[in-house]
Amino acid sequence: MRRTTTRNIALLAAAAAVVSIGAAAPPADPPVRHPGSPGGPPVKTPVAAGYGGAVASVDADASAAGIEILRRGGNAVDAAVATAAALGVTEPYSAGIGGGGYLVYYDAGTRTVHTIDGRETAPRSADASLFLENGRPIPFDQGQTSGLGVGTPGTPATWETALRAWGSRPLARLLKPAEKLARDGFTVDATFRAQTEANQARFADFPATAELFLPGGKLPVVGTTFKNPDLARTYRELADDGVRALYRGDIAEDIVDTVRKPPVAPGATRIVRPGDLTLRDLRSYETIRRAPTKVGYRGLGVYGMAPSSSGGTSVGQALNMLERTDLGRVSPAGYLHRFIEASRIAFADRGRWVGDPAFEDVPVKGLLSQRFADSRSCLIKDDAVLTSPLAPGDPRNPVPCGTTGEAAPTMRDVESTTHLTTADRWGNVVAYTLTIEATGGSGITVPGRGFLLNNELTDFNFAPANPAVHDPNLPGPAKRPRSSMSPTIVLDDDRRPVLALGSPGGATIITTVLQTLTSRLDRGLPLVEAIAAPRASQRNQTTTELEPGLWNSPLRAELERIGHGFRLNPEIGAATAIERLPDGRWLAAAEKTRRGGGSAMVVRPSDGRP
């Protein structure tokens, strides 16, 4: 096996010739300046290198909020909370205090990785029939836009847990940039307008949502200023009273009232089902400090999020399967073929084995073992394609090239969420993925509070994916739905950070993180190009999704000749990442064009690029 070190990665970044996967990455957009900031508008650019710490997110105002905290002496956790709070303002359809997420933290002092499971939970009254009516699953849209799909939010509790363990600044101080942004407003861009337009019909059915996001019944205009004074006041209440206000105080009561009696506009014909969330559910919510997943890859340690997320186990298993192949030497088509097949197998095993470990016996150690990976990777042939849905293997008793039981197809995906990555002057790093599930969440805004409620419980399977197979992802009381969020941190053999990354995108998060990692570590693409490269996503389905850059590439025909089938997806994921350079600088990177491009910033920019 080939050994990769931090020095090797730096050499790869400096290489003049880059081996691509066959399609040119789109050129970087010019920096975009956002008006309205008294101290000078933040600049939106997809890559930055320098000293003192770094932040990468999808939004310039949010990244600037994190950078402000770093400049004032805060650490990576402080910056992550400030950035996340700002994303609740500027990315309200993807994240906010009405949702949840997963945070992975590298502690430079102890050179250890820690994680927080801040996933939403089902009401204590929930059982496997939560989304059934007369024994049959209700229509998905009736679960999605309802109180029934709302889980207890985990995001504020995640902030509190992280700050108590590793933060250096009080929450009140970290919320100030976001509170100001909500009060004074941010500039509407094309992505925000498009996401509002996609939700216009259901937003119009909820008066508080329509008043906030469709003022006067009209879509927001690109270039205008969007303000959210209700959210500013809510942040001020959290700053004054702490996050307990959301779990025990007036905000908690407002959330419960909204879930149990969704405020629907008079005359609306939409079926909006009530949920059964209670004040007890909010009072009893707790985050969980879990041990991270870990696999060795090319001499590096890859750390991720353990179940209830399937991100760490799926990315880790796929890397274990791919490590036996020198991906840097195979052809672009050979690389994509191996990547697609490893993803297919990992998703087959994810569907059978991964759920909330408080309810399911999840064989994490077995899923991440090299023995199991070898027993599954022998299914991959250079001149043939596996059939989906593929039956799972048994990590408790691996049989070479064997499967067990019946196949269960991957259920529907919802491609929303957001990811941020931070680092500080001391070397601490955070990879944090947070969400309210679908773009626009449940569509229900808590009246007077300025934030949307999640519809995270729709990540449960409404009914077994295959009635003949045990399904670990059915609803249950206080159960966490299985997630695909994959915040990931990579360390070298001295347990120092190499890079950290993550992405939104539903179940495509796993394949986006896997492809970005292998593009950077194996194929030699500079980090920003590894993020920008056109993506493929196979999730144990009959066809593999391709972005246009691969769909229109000769590679598609080359792969189709050995049996691959494809379908077009205009956009997969929206990753952000940070890399530690050998000279002590941080390199922050984000999307060039997806979601309108991301925002990478450093505290003290340096001249030149790595």
Per mean pLDDT, which range of 112-126, 405-419, 443-457 is the poorest? 405-419
Q: What is the pLDDT of residue 603?
A: 98
For the chain, how many structural domains are there in total? Answer: 1
The verdict on residue 322 lying in a domain is no
Q: How confident is the model at residue 413 (pLDDT cuts 50, 70, 90)?
A: low
State the average pLDDT for the chain: 92
Q: What is the pLDDT of residue 16?
A: 31
The verdict on residue 168 lying in a domain is yes
Mind listing the pLDDT tens digit for each residue in 329-356? 999 999 999 999 999 999 999 999 999 9
Kindly report the backbone phi and psi dihedral angles of residue 546, in degrees, each rounded to the nearest multiple of 5, phi listed first: -130, 140
CATH number, residue 89: 3.60.20.40
Mind listing the pLDDT tens digit for each residue in 28-71? 333 333 333 445 557 799 999 999 999 999 999 999 999 999 99
Mind listing the pLDDT tens digit for each residue in 478-490? 999 999 999 999 9
H-helix or E-strand spanning residue 488: strand 488-491
Q: Of 565, 528, 517, 572, which Cα lies nearest the Cα of 548?
A: 572
Q: How confident is the model at residue 415 (pLDDT cuts 50, 70, 90)?
A: low
Mind listing the pLDDT tens digit for each residue in 10-22? 444 433 333 344 4
Measure the CA angle with vertex 101, ends 465 and 307; round to 5°: 50
Cα torsion angle, 86, 91, 95, 101, sign: negative
The verdict on residue 602 lying in a domain is no
How distant, in Å, are the alpha carbons of 38, 53, 586 from that of 498? 36, 14, 10
Range of the domain at 238: 6-15+22-289+412-593
pLDDT value at 311 more than 70: yes
Q: What's the CA gap between 316 and 131, in Å, rounded? A: 32
Measure the CA angle with vertex 513, ends 107 and 452; round to 5°: 85
How distant, in Å, are the alpha carbons of 13, 36, 389, 516, 572 from that of 21? 16, 41, 26, 11, 16
The verdict on residue 255 lying in a domain is yes
CA atoms within 13 A on the CB side of 299: 15
Mind listing the pLDDT tens digit for each residue in 544-587? 999 999 999 999 999 999 999 999 999 999 999 999 999 999 99
DSSP labels, 290-358: EPPEEEEETTEEEEEPPTTBSHHHHHHHHHHHHTTS-TTTS-HHHHHHHHHHHHHHHHHHHHHH-S-TT
The verdict on residue 555 lying in a domain is yes
Q: Name the DSSP class of 595.
A: G
Q: What's the CA gap between 143 and 455, in Å, rounded? A: 8
Q: Of 273, 240, 306, 318, which Cα lies nearest the Cα of 513?
A: 318
Q: How confident is the model at residue 416 (pLDDT cuts 50, 70, 90)?
A: confident
Listed in sequence order, the residues at least 6 apart from 170 whose beta carbon sits closer than 8 Å to its beta carbon are 163
Cβ atoms 93, 416 nearer than 8 A:
yes
Peptide bond into 262 cis (omega under 30): no
> What would the mean pLDDT of 296-301 be, rounded to a whole number?
98
Q: Name the DSSP class of 47.
A: E
Q: What is the pLDDT of residue 41?
A: 58
CA atoms within 13 A on the CB side of 128: 10
pLDDT value at 197 more than 80: yes
Listed in sequence order, the residues at least 6 apart from 556 whose beta carbon sits closer than 8 Å to its beta carbon are 546, 550, 566
Pairing status of strand 47-57 against strand 100-107: unpaired
Give me 391's structure tokens: 């039956």
Helix, coil or strand: residue 584: coil
Mind listing the pLDDT tens digit for each residue in 460-472? 999 987 788 889 9
Helices (H) and strands (E) counted in the chain, each on its own, are 21, 22
The verdict on residue 32 lying in a domain is yes
* Proportion of the chain above pLDDT 90, given as a percent: 88
Residues designated as active site:
417
Q: How confident is the model at residue 414 (pLDDT cuts 50, 70, 90)?
A: low
pLDDT value at 161 more than 70: yes
In three-state form (DSSP H/G/I as H, E/B as E, the rest C), the secondary structure along 119-149 is CCECCCCCCCCCCEECCEECCHHHHHCCCCC
The verdict on residue 230 lying in a domain is yes
Q: What's the CA gap between 279 and 194, in Å, rounded? A: 35
Mind listing the pLDDT tens digit for each residue in 507-542? 999 999 999 999 999 999 999 999 999 999 999 999
Cβ atoms 222, 35 nearer than 8 A:
no
The verdict on residue 383 lying in a domain is no
Q: What is the pLDDT of residue 520?
A: 98
pLDDT value at 25 more than 90: no
pLDDT value at 405 more than 90: no
Name the β-bridge partners of 499: 490, 579
Q: What's the CA gap between 544 and 280, in Å, rounded? A: 43
Mind listing the pLDDT tens digit for each residue in 233-279? 999 999 999 999 999 999 999 999 999 999 999 999 999 999 999 99
Q: What's the CA gap between 476 and 357, in Å, rounded? A: 12
Give me 117's structure tokens: 């499971």
Neighbours of 456 (CB within 10 A): 31
In three-state form (DSSP H/G/I as H, E/B as E, the rest C), the secondary structure along 193-252 is HHHHHHCHHHHCCCHHHHHHHCHHHCCCCCCCEECCHHHHHHHHHHHHHCCHHHHCCHHH
